[in-house]
Amino acid sequence: MHRISSLLAGVATFALVACTSTTDKPDVDVVDAEADIAQESVAVTGNSVVMRQKALGAYASSPAMMPPPDPQITEEYPETDPNPVKLVSEEPVSTFSSDVDTSSYSVTRRYILQNHSLPPSDAVRVEEFLNYFTYDYKMPESANAPFTPTVWVTPSPWNAGAKLMHIGVKGFDIEPEETPDANIVLLLDVSGSMNSENKLPLVKKSMELLVDEMSKDDMISIVVYAGAAGVVLEPTPGNEKTKIMEALNALSAGGSTAGGEGIALAYSLAEENFDKDKVNRVILATDGDFNVGVVDADSLEDYVARKRETGIFLTVLGFGQGNYNDLIAQKLVQAGNGVAAYIDTLNEARKVLVREFRSTLFPIARDLKFQVEFNPAAVREYRLIGYETRILNREDFNNDAVDAGDIGSGHTVTAIYEFVETGSDAGLIDDLRYQDAPAASGSASEYAFVRLRYKLPQEDESDLIEKPVLIADAYSSLSRAPRDARFAAAVAAFGQKIQRAPYTKAMSLDDIIDMANGAKGRDPYGDRAEFVQIVRASETLLSAGASDD
């Protein structure tokens, strides 16, 4: 057997323990280190998966572990600082990748409503607050032109004299009967740390919701990992729901975390059953407790990035609390054409896997990038709210080799800039003594020029969309602005407060609640009403400075 140390040597990450090897056609011989299931090892040879014995029996019979005592919080999040204010005369162009992840909002909800504390500031990504909600943006007319950008300019509710530029796109919404079939590999963490009600039991209930959405033309496989990785369900038609659920319900938690082996096996299984006419996706569900191996996130990140080129997408679903590793989740999804969500309740699982089923699983565009050029004759300074981990270099916009976020069917993406007009005294940066006044760039009737680049799912070359932002189209007051613009402004204000950013001090939580309540509109699932509940619950916490930082 080939050793796969060259692929994932010394890696322990979001789903990782030290792995053996990888080639284009990996040979993997996995042996359980703790649960004494060496006989149930799995071989992946020549891109075929050979079950030496039924791995299902091994994982089902593993002795259940007692729930651990109140664990010390060891959650990890990417270190971020809010984007700074920039002078248009120095940096007129802003470029960033799209992001449809929502995990930051769900994590924050769990901290505030369940833990009664504020999340670490690094756990807050304001763009994921914004993108948790759907907005009434212009609908594109076809899948071949999947975006029609919407731009609103309104006064800023927290900075008198400043304005907000709200950019939104809604992906083309594929009709259910036109949705492509799926080849799904569920990669489930069954290590000992998953033995609590909000972990493996919630994973099973969540996956049952997903299985209910599958049809006879979809294929589902299940790979599990604990002390070893194994296939507990070979590729099975989606309408064989009893068989799939029997495999899921037989799982129990126990052992350490051999996640690297699991990821290698899951991708191998997805490659073996790859169908260019289907959506091929690995769905990883884990709490992120990687308790063995050497931490080397970059190695696994490189591996997932290489697998991205094979056309296999990645979804990472986080569960539980206390040891959730969002840092690695973000690395994986950004490297692997991925989407990240955090499942803290069955209702959230229903949102991600049922309500947003098609947008979660079925991409309509890849590598969506945004670039905004501000007109110095009209705009003096600006800052991008959120997207700190998605910033791109200016030259990356036209470079199709640079990866960016992917967008699913019906997904909405929202970005908000705060800016100050030329000549206004509301800015945060002083004028330079020795520089001339900026000259107009382009039309004097424009605040900015918005560009989007994206690739259709089967294309390697990007398409370009351009839209001027006209001064004449700006709303003179927030009360005249669209309801969604006002609600998004309330969400952005709250996200910045929870992030402990310095920019929204003039806007109180009561102001945010009033704005959100006045802009809830049609709220069929109660998402916007829940947002107001979260803001209310945070009032005491913010005043007391309660935080797990």
What's the whole-number mean pLDDT along residues 401-429?
94
336 pLDDT tier (thresholds 50, 70, 90)? confident
CB-side exposure of 433: number of CA atoms within 13 Å?
Answer: 0
Cβ(372)–Cβ(449) below 8 Å: yes
More confidently predicted of 242 and 48: 242
Q: Tell me, what DSSP letter sits at residue 496?
A: H
Cβ(82)–Cβ(431) below 8 Å: no
What's the whole-number mean pLDDT along residues 350-364?
92
Looking at the predicted structure, is the pLDDT value of residue 20 above 60? no
More confidently predicted of 43 and 423: 423
Q: From 486, 475, 480, select the one nearest 531 (Cα to Cα).
A: 486
State both tokens at 166: 């709200």
289 pLDDT tier (thresholds 50, 70, 90)? low
Whole-model pTM: value is: 0.86
In angstroms, the CA 332 to CA 46 distance is 26
Span of 124-128, 306-310, 432-436 with lowest mean pLDDT = 432-436
What's the whole-number mean pLDDT along residues 227-253?
93
pLDDT for position 331: 86
Contacts of 345 (CB under 8 A, 6+ apart): none
pLDDT for position 245: 98
pLDDT for position 73: 65
- Cα Dmax for the chain: 77
| Cα distances (Å, whole numbers) of residue 465 to 264, 372, 451, 514, 517 | 38, 12, 6, 36, 34
| Cα distances (Å, whole numbers) of residue 442 to 10, 250, 498 | 53, 64, 38
pLDDT for position 53: 35
Kindly report the backbone phi and psi dihedral angles of residue 485, in degrees, each rounded to the nearest multiple of 5, phi listed first: -65, -40
Quick: pLDDT tens for 210-234: 999 999 999 999 999 886 779 999 9
Span of 135-139, 235-239, 330-334, 383-387 with lowest mean pLDDT = 330-334
How large is the C-alpha radius of gyration of the chain? Answer: 24
DSSP state string for 319-341: E-SSS-BHHHHHHHHHHTTEEEE
Looking at the predicted structure, is the pLDDT value of residue 118 above 70? yes
- Beta strand 312-319 pairing with 279-286: parallel
Helix 483-498 vs helix 509-518: crossing angle, to nearest 10:
150
Determine the length of the chain: 549
Angle CA 494–446–150, to nearest 5: 50
- Rounded to the nearest integer, the mean pLDDT of the chain is 85
Looking at the predicted structure, is the pLDDT value of residue 431 above 90? no
pLDDT for position 292: 36
> What whole-number percentage of the chain has pLDDT above 70?
81
pLDDT for position 329: 86
**Residue written as tokens 């350490």?**
256
Angle CA 519–525–531, to nearest 5: 50
pLDDT for position 30: 36
> What whole-number percentage of the chain has pLDDT above 90?
66
Q: 86-174+364-544 — its CATH code? A: 2.60.40.1230
**Residue written as tokens 């000549």?**
423
Kindly report the backbone phi and psi dihedral angles of residue 98, in degrees, each rounded to the nearest multiple of 5, phi listed first: -65, 165
Domain spans, the chain: 86-174+364-544
User: Is the four-CA dihedral 9, 13, 18, 20 of positive or negative sign?
Assistant: negative
544 pLDDT tier (thresholds 50, 70, 90)? confident
The winner for highest mean pLDDT among 189-193, 445-449, 542-546 is 445-449
In angstroms, the CA 531 to CA 529 distance is 5
Looking at the predicted structure, is the pLDDT value of residue 37 above 60? no
